[in-house]
Amino acid sequence: MIFILLGPPGAGKGTYSQKLIDIYKIPQISTGDILRASVKAGTPIGIKAKEYMDKGALVPDEVIIGIVEERIKENDCKNGFLLDGFPRTVAQADALGELFVKNKLNLKGVINIIVDKDVLFKRLTGRRMCKACGAGFNVNTMPPKKDGVCDACGGELFQRNDDKPETIENRLVVYDKQTAPLIDYYKSRKVLKDVNASNGSVDEIVAKIKAALESK
């Protein structure tokens, strides 16, 4: 099973992915997570990417496409994978299409996660991550049991640099300009499935995603 989770920052793609990888026994490929790991490790790609990420801008297509091309060749992707945060531009979607043809892979579907703008802003400003294990929380919608402490490992929670209000606005503008055109791109290829995620629990939304993926 190969599918794409498309949706604005704050739509919950990472949260739903954590459940979907268990359901389908496939890895999540999150270009944001890969880039954050490169920034942390101080690799040349990480150093270059950080400039863009801190501003809420997109990292250049050729960098991201190279990352994904390498990642999908890994052994754990043999039975499929879930793309979270990629593609984000038409050029990336075209490159992905070419990779699918070259590697004889079939795209099952593209889930378009729809969330109201005011809900997005609230989710993004409330988002916190564990420094140690990367688990995600939200002080507004999914708070940890103890303030600032990870439920999973007891690590310290922090706010991503790009989740500060001024950067969030830019990320939402960038989504509208550069990523939202992919909705029509995949609609015209008849693989787009809308899932409304403004309301409902994580499990309810995951169930909707599963039903959409498995519908004809």
Q: What percent of the chain is helix, strand and coil (3-state, nearest 5)?
A: 50, 15, 30
109-114, strands of its sheet edge to edge? 28-30, 81-84, 2-6, 109-114, 192-196
Provide, rounded to whole angstroms, the least separation between the CB of residue 9 and ligand AMP. Answer: 5
Tell me whether residue 41 or residue 154 sits nearer to ligand AMP (CB atom): 41
Residues 132-151 that bind ligand AMP (CB under 6 A): none
Among 58, 72, 168, 182, binds ligand AMP (CB under 6 A): 58
- Residue 7 as a binder of ligand AMP (CB under 6 A): the answer is no
Tell me whether residue 45 or residue 105 sits nearer to ligand AMP (CB atom): 45
- Residue 56 as a binder of ligand AMP (CB under 6 A): the answer is yes
3-class state of residue 21 by DSSP: helix
How far CA 174 is from CA of 29, 32, 54, in Å, comes to 21, 15, 13
Tell me whether residue 24 or residue 162 sits nearer to ligand AMP (CB atom): 162
For 166, the token pair is 């001024």
Provide, rounded to whole angstroms, the least separation between the CB of residue 58 and ligand AMP. Answer: 4
How is residue 198 annotated by DSSP?
Answer: S
3-class state of residue 144 by DSSP: coil
Interface ranges with ligand AMP (CB under 6 A):
9, 31-32, 35, 52-53, 56-59, 64, 85-86, 88, 92, 162, 171
